[in-house]
Structure 1
Amino acid sequence: MRPEELAAIRAGDVDVAFRRWERPRVKVGTRMRTAVGLVEITSVDRVPVSSLTAADARRAGAASLATLRHGLDRLHPDRPVYRIGLRYAGVDPRQALREAVPDAAEIAAIGAWLDRLDRASPTGPWTRATLLLIDELPATRAPDLAQRMGRDTPSFKQNVRKLKERGLTESLDIGYRLSARGAAVLDHEGHPRSNRGRVVPEAGIPLPHIGAAATRALTAHGLVRLEQVAGLSESEIQALHGVGPYALRHLRTAMDAAGLAFRDDPGAGPETS
């Protein structure tokens, strides 16, 4: 789903989607992790195209019934149409998890889990080395990190996803970074982190997916959370090399959803009609 659709689902403006599938690809009750949080599947029904109404189009976020039908007819018009009920189900629990510094008992449990992963790996221990590499080289392309580990990119990404499930890492538009939780584990175990002095990213709402160039531009200026972006004016953000209309649009959408706004531009005059 496109960022605009996800934002509308979170706002409650969209609660259905229509897809042409040979058979249902999702199940009722499934909670999908998305850029805006969890989206729950509330229903899956096969429906004839002739039964679609203007109300269906509005609920799906389409401009009109004709637009909805045209979109469905563009690809695989021979396949049946399914109506999927959708509901915003809250923030991704991994977000809160990675910002929560574990106590000693939790760290011991995480360490035991990492040990089990290492023992089960046919290529040998990898968990701490991967965490240390991500800490050393945040916002670095996954293929480059995989090469440093002597691994192929798909298997490296699969391993990082396991660490992300426990809140030890965080995905960025480019690469990853170590979370406060992951840093606490490495520090507790006494690993020689080359970036031990780095400030742990402050708690808050992470940047939405705005593209690699814009992400680099913002992070280069220490802007890694929406609350930090709200401290600048829109013209100041737009002036950063790499931040274009696409990035600004998604920043506005994410900030609106979070109840934030750009700081007033002191150079902007009053609007005229």
Structure 2
Amino acid sequence: MLMRPAELAAIRAGDVDLAFRRWERPRLRVGTRMRTAVGLVEITSVDRVPVKSLTAADARRAGAASLAALRQGLDRLHQDRPVYRIGLRYAGVDPRHALREAVPDAAEIDAIIAWLDRLDRASPTGPWTRATLLLIDELPATRAPDLAQRMGWDTPSFKQNVRKLKERGLTESLDIGYRLSARGAAVLDHEGHPRQARSRSVPEPGLPLPHIGAAATRALTAHGVVRLEQVAGLSEGEVRAWHGVGPYALGRLRTALDEAGLAFRDDTGAEPEPS
């Protein structure tokens, strides 16, 4: 079930706990936990409902501007299909987040290596796991199509394989591309692979940027902003003026700053800009 970034953020905040979809038949089961950009979202109910039964409260709980807007959205496509009312709740952080930062012990590394070997043996195109991990380590935050081209694969196949590595906490998805996790680095180091990342300088300590979308990420990194502490040195107006930074990205930055005890620089006392 696809959900927009703003919708996911509202679910996490507890402002949205319903969604409405037109399906030929239910596509989700109660109790299903979906992995999303904001963490786990659990399906609490799935009920077929008549459009006429929808209420203003339903619209509000689904994050729609009004009951009319909710109905109009449902009437845009597939009007011949029934409407399903889906209950949602934020169910916590994705457990893979903690996993990828946990450096495995010797026994865990042996198990991961055995699993990687099985993937390589089962591949009709030959071994790929270490080459993919090394490529992501060499080129973090690089577009998946560019990485796929380097591997000689089509983009969907490349993404599918990277998802397998992500399930074991070996890689992390970014707004643009991927990066190797501490867990993945430990496996490559254990096997003695020549990693270019070893020669890189240690990154500046601090809090990473939240997921704010590819366009906004490009805008911030183009200005040298890669840590949350750097955002706190800027005013909201400055960041808003950068091409690619929209309301969703600003909202995510505000939330991340607040959770870290930080805030945008206050420019209320500055002289107003000329009109």
TM-score by length of 2: 0.86
Partner of 1:26: 28
Of the three residues 189, 208, 211, the one matched with 1:208 is 211
Please name the residue that 2:182 is paired with.
180
Given residue 87 of structure 1, which amino acid in structure 2 is its aligned partner? R
- Structure 2 partner of 1:49: 51
CA distance in 2, matches of 1:247, 1:180: 29
1:192 partnered with 2:187: no
Question: Cα deviation per residue 1:205-232 (whole Å; 9 max; x = unaligned)?
Answer: 65213223x3134345665454653454
Equivalent residues of 2:39, 2:90 under 8 A apart: yes
In structure 2, the residue matched to 1:67 is: 69
In structure 2, the residue matched to 1:116 is: 118
Q: Is the 8 A contact 2:210 2:253 kept in 1?
A: no
Number of equivalences: 269
Q: How does 1:78-117 map to 2 (within 5 A)?
A: 78-117=80-119
TM superposition outliers: structure 1 runs of 4+ over 4 Å: 200-206, 220-228
Letter of the 2:184 counterpart: G
Q: State the superposition RMSD in angstroms.
A: 2.7
Question: By how many angstroms is 1:51 displaced?
Answer: 1.2
Distance 2:14 2:245 in 1: 28
The answer to whether the 8 A contact 1:94-1:165 is kept is yes
- Pairing partner for 1:147 from 146, 149, 155: 149
C-alpha distance in structure 1 between counterparts of 2:220 and 2:182, whole Å: 20
Q: Which residue of 1 aligns with 2:268?
A: 268
* Aligned CA distance change for structure 1 residues 106 and 237 (closer, same or farther; 3 Å): farther
Secondary structure of the 2:198 match is coil
Opposite residue 11 of structure 1, the aligned amino acid is A
Of 187-196 and 100-109, deviating more is 100-109
- Structure 2: stretches of 5+ with no match in the other structure: 271-275
Identity of aligned residues (%): 78
Cα gap change, 1:29/1:147 in structure 2, threshold over 3 Å: closer, same or farther? same
Q: Distance in 2 between matches of 1:122 and 1:257?
A: 49
- Paired amino acid for 1:127: T
3-state secondary structure, aligned to 2:196 = coil
Displacement after TM superposition at 1:181 (Å): 1.1
Question: 1:95-142: per-residue Cα shift (whole Å, max 9, x none)?
Answer: 111122222221121111111111111111111111001111111121
Cα offset, 1:245, TM superposition: 2.7
Conserved 8 A contact 1:18-1:83? yes
Q: Distance in 2 between matches of 1:223 and 1:179?
A: 21
Q: CA deviation at 1:60?
A: 1.1
Letter in 1 for 2:65: A
Counterpart-to-counterpart distance in 2, 1:79 and 1:254: 38
Q: Kindly tell me: are residues 70 and 242 of structure 1, through their superposed partners in 2, closer, same or farther at Cα, counting changes over 3 Å?
A: closer
3-state DSSP class of the match of 2:126? coil
The residue that corresponds to 1:244 in the other structure is 245
Query: Is the Cα–Cα contact under 8 Å of residues 169 and 181 in structure 2 kept in the other structure?
Result: yes
**Residues 95 and 225 of structure 1: is their aligned pair in 2 closer, same or farther, counting only changes over 3 Å?**
farther
**C-alpha contact 1:170 1:178 (8 A) present in aligned 2:** yes
Residues 52 and 18 from structure 1, CA distance in 2 versus in 1: closer, same or farther, beyond 3 angstroms? same
For structure 1, the 5+ residue unaligned runs are: none
Structure 1, residues 158-180: CA drift from partner, whole Å, max 9, x if none?
11110011111111222111111
Q: Secondary structure of the equivalent of 2:212?
A: coil
> Helix, strand or coil: the match of 1:196?
helix
Matching residue of 2:273:
none
Distance 1:63 1:263, change over 3 A: closer
Q: Distance in 2 between matches of 1:26 and 1:257?
A: 34
Residue aligned with 2:27, SS: coil
TM-score using structure 1 length: 0.87
Alignment-mate amino acid for residue 160 of structure 2: Q
Q: Write the letter of the residue equivalent to 2:213.
A: I
CA distance in structure 2 between the partners assigned to 1:77 and 1:152 by the alignment: 35
Structure 1 residue 203, shift from structure 2 partner: 8.1
